[in-house]
Amino acid sequence: MRILSRGVAKINTDYSTSSFIHSIIRNDLKLNKYNGRVHTRFPPEPNGYLHIGHAKSICLNFGIAEEFNGLCNLRFDDTNPTKEEEEFVRAIIEDVRWLGFSWDDRLFYASDYFDQLYDFAVTLIKKGKAYVCDLSAEEIKEYRGTLNQPGKESPYRSRSIEENLDLFERMKAGEFPNGSRVLRAKIDMSSPNLNMRDPVLYRIMHEKHHRTGDKWCIYPMYDFAHPLCDAIEKITHSICTLEFEDHRPLYDWLVDELIEGDKPRQYEFARLELTNTVTSKRKLRKLVEGGYVRGWDDPRMPTISGFRRRGYTPEAIRDFCDRIGVAKANSIVDIALLEHCLREDLNKKAPRVMAVLDPVKVVILNYPENQEEVLETENNPENPESGKRNLVFSRNIFIEREDFMENPPKKYFRLSPGKEVRLKSAYIIKCVNVIKDAKGNIVEIHCTYDPETKSGGGASSRKVKGTIHWVSENNAVDAEIRLYDYLFIDEIDDDSINDNDIISKLNPDSLKVIKNCKVEPILKNSLPGEKFQFLRQGYFCADLKDHNSKSLVFNRIVPLKDTWAKIKKQ
RNA sequence: UGGGGUAUCGCCAAGUGGUAAGGCAUCGGACUCUGACUCCGACAUUCGGUGGUUCGAAUCCAUCUACCCCAGCCA
């Protein structure tokens, strides 16, 4: 939506997003279906945490509402009290909100409609389109037939309307034990679509519900509740994933039998799969319960809360969801695209700061002892408005162990004996000596600096090929840095691996904790959740739970692209 | 062997009978006080296969093939 200079909001009419669902909606709008209304919903079941796959659905549903000037409801699909919990409701609300979407006062629960749903069931019975069936679960399964063979009709199928009404009411009243009876739609036991072979509509569950308590002991099935909840909320486009495609005839059957006026329609799209990632609930639970990760919000988890704790931004996730598109072909998106979206977002936003993860001491021999010098450096070259900050330079500094090599290969631009390198925002130094311990480990590097090459100074135009980051020994601060990598080794995705094999495919290096890193003192003031670019290394986020001003803890969100690493490999 | 779907570059994905968008990845090169960013360039004579219709087909027709989903009183 564009705001005109007069302050009048102009509705965007050139809906540029292109997907088959957008096309359908554009066409419905052209035909003035639903009087031009577009109303979607995101219907999570509160039985687990939201993950990146849900983000696609959230962005689609809320995105469509925004784009077509419509509305999107948040509706909890809480029709099965044995699986659902308040705790998940809370977490899901937090995640959807964090992603940047709002539903105003349209937060609903399928359980809000249990009375109406019951009435719909009674109506169906009265129309002779539903009956109470006494078959056991096993018998129902037998009677259903198979993919290739038609089913048989239940012996209870021809009960009178009166008897059905009486029995259904007594089911509701709690007269029968779990599993003893169900309400079934009377459709077609020989349908090639198994969903139409007299599907179960209501089952008996003497179970306390997280919202309705003990009021009910019969609960509607998803297939019954969903289309009717959609209709009650006046949803126009009910968007779900591919596996519900052959539930659509049942969805339509119920809507046609019970709803007058505008009828919601169901459309299906392919759910998101990501490389190096699993998203099935069972697999994720196995990781958490087996202690392979530290909870649902472990920064390696593909949950929304995991991404949040890792340091991903909602903007990056939304951009990603826009870019992957929406179609009906099963696909596996390269996680590199997600990382690209993240880097692009953080490149603009994240202040630069210097942090030495694996420090080695450098002594600048010709720099006076006890002298300190304040140098200025930009906070973010991509964003001049972010201003500048001061660095303190001195005789003893730390640099990255990796930025020095005694016997460098060709094209190594960093420090080595006799070679020069620039210290970012400071001076050019030259290595004159290397001090080692008895085992041959480098403990100190001796350098000289060229006072004429102060950063920003008039004589600073001398060029060297490499620039490295550093911190002063006497004002550096210690930090713990957690380097995260993919949870799974390459070539793994949800479809390519079964539940039992995931553990063997775990990446043993998915987390490396480094203590005693040396970082700029300004980081003492950083707040949990704050994000930075550690110069030349990557984007890092102060941990939401463990970071505080006395004990700094940063998560690596994603490393910077590294061309040198590529060259080295070859 | 029933029903429902899907096949366009390594990975996503537009395209709706008029002569294959875009993004990611990759590979070159320029720039660089981040080997980052940015910038320039390369990257589908061909759309799962085969026939056909047409002046013209990724788009229409026929046929074949591959893959995904469905036999919960889960969602």
A37-269: CATH number:
3.40.50.620
CB of A189 lies under 7 Å from some atom of strand B: no
Coil/strand/helix, residue A348: helix
A237-241 and A182-185 strand pairing: unpaired
What is the per-residue pLDDT for A460?
Answer: 59
CATH class of A281-351+479-569: mainly alpha
What is the per-residue pLDDT for A516?
Answer: 96
- d(Cα A304, Cα A51) in Å, to the nearest integer? 5
Q: Residue A32 has what DSSP assignment? A: T
CB of A536 lies under 7 Å from some atom of strand B: yes
Q: Which nucleotide is closest to the Cα of A331 by its C1'?
A: B12
Q: Where are chain A's structural domains?
A: 37-269, 281-351+479-569, 355-469
- d(Cα A342, Cα A83) in Å, to the nearest integer? 34
Q: Tell me if A37-269 shares its fold with A281-351+479-569.
A: no
CB of A281 lies under 7 Å from some atom of strand B: no
When pLDDT is cut at 50, 70 and 90, the band that residue A9 belongs to is very low
CB of A54 lies under 7 Å from some atom of strand B: no
Q: Which nucleotide is closest to the Cα of A338 by its C1'?
A: B24
Q: Which nucleotide is closest to the Cα of A325 by its C1'?
A: B13
When pLDDT is cut at 50, 70 and 90, the band that residue A459 belongs to is low
CB of A564 lies under 7 Å from some atom of strand B: yes
Q: What are phi and psi of A176, to 5 degrees?
A: -120, 150
Coil/strand/helix, residue A270: coil
Residues A389, A377: contact at Cβ < 8 Å? yes
What is the per-residue pLDDT for A148?
Answer: 95
A372-378 and A388-394 strand pairing: antiparallel
Radius of gyration of chain A (CA): 31
The answer to whether residue A491 scores a pLDDT higher than 90 is no
The answer to whether residue A80 scores a pLDDT higher than 70 is yes
The answer to whether residue A169 scores a pLDDT higher than 70 is yes
The answer to whether residue A5 scores a pLDDT higher than 90 is no
> What average pLDDT score do residues A115-137 get?
98
When pLDDT is cut at 50, 70 and 90, the band that residue A499 belongs to is confident
> What average pLDDT score do residues A263-292 get?
96
When pLDDT is cut at 50, 70 and 90, the band that residue A16 belongs to is low
Q: Which nucleotide is closest to the Cα of A76 by its C1'?
A: B75
Residues A464, A420: contact at Cβ < 8 Å? yes
Check the CA dihedral A345-A346-A347-A350 and report its sign.
Answer: positive
Structure tokens of A235? 């949803």
Give the rounded percent of residues in chain A with a pLDDT score beyond 70: 96
Mean pLDDT of chain A: 94
Amino acid in position A561: K
- d(Cα A470, Cα A398) in Å, to the nearest integer? 6
- pLDDT tens sequence across A88-99: 999 999 999 999
Q: Which residue is nearest to nucleotide B38 (CA to C1')?
A: A382
| Catalytic residue IDs of A | 45, 271, 281
- d(Cα A309, Cα A147) in Å, to the nearest integer? 45
What is the per-residue pLDDT for A456?
Answer: 81
CB of A161 lies under 7 Å from some atom of strand B: no
CB of A190 lies under 7 Å from some atom of strand B: no
CB of A331 lies under 7 Å from some atom of strand B: yes
> What average pLDDT score do residues A357-382 get?
97
Residue for token pair 């909870």: A295
Coil/strand/helix, residue A156: coil
> What average pLDDT score do residues A402-409 get?
96
pTM given for the model: 0.95
Residues A76, A109: contact at Cβ < 8 Å? yes
Residue A296: C-alpha distances to residues A261, A279, A308, A321, A567 (Å): 43, 12, 11, 22, 37
What is the per-residue pLDDT for A570?
Answer: 73
What is the per-residue pLDDT for A15?
Answer: 45
The answer to whether residue A6 scores a pLDDT higher than 90 is no
Give the rounded percent of residues in chain A with a pLDDT score beyond 90: 91
Q: Which positions of chain B lie under 7 Å from any protein Cβ?
A: 1-8, 10-16, 22-27, 33-38, 67-75
- pLDDT tens sequence across A437-457: 999 999 999 999 999 999 987
Give the CA-to-C1' distance from A567 to B27 in angstroms.
13
> What average pLDDT score do residues A552-559 get?
98
Q: Which of residues 94-133 of A touch strand B (CB under 7 A)?
A: none
Count CB atoms within 10 A of the CB of residue A482.
19
- pLDDT tens sequence across A502-553: 998 999 999 999 999 999 999 999 999 999 999 999 999 999 999 999 999 9
When pLDDT is cut at 50, 70 and 90, the band that residue A2 belongs to is very low
Q: A355-469 belongs to which homologous superfamily?
A: Ribosomal Protein L25; Chain P (2.40.240.10)
CB of A30 lies under 7 Å from some atom of strand B: no
Give the CA-to-C1' distance from A347 to B35 in angstroms.
17
The answer to whether residue A39 scores a pLDDT higher than 90 is yes
Q: Which nucleotide is closest to the Cα of A344 by its C1'?
A: B37
Q: Report, in this order, helix, strand and coil percent for chain A, each rounded to 5.
A: 30, 25, 40
Query: Per mean pLDDT, which range of A177-181, A492-496, A522-526 is the poorest?
Result: A492-496
Structure tokens of A80? 């099965």
When pLDDT is cut at 50, 70 and 90, the band that residue A462 belongs to is confident
Residues pairing with A539 in the sheet: A533, A558
- d(Cα A231, Cα A254) in Å, to the nearest integer? 10
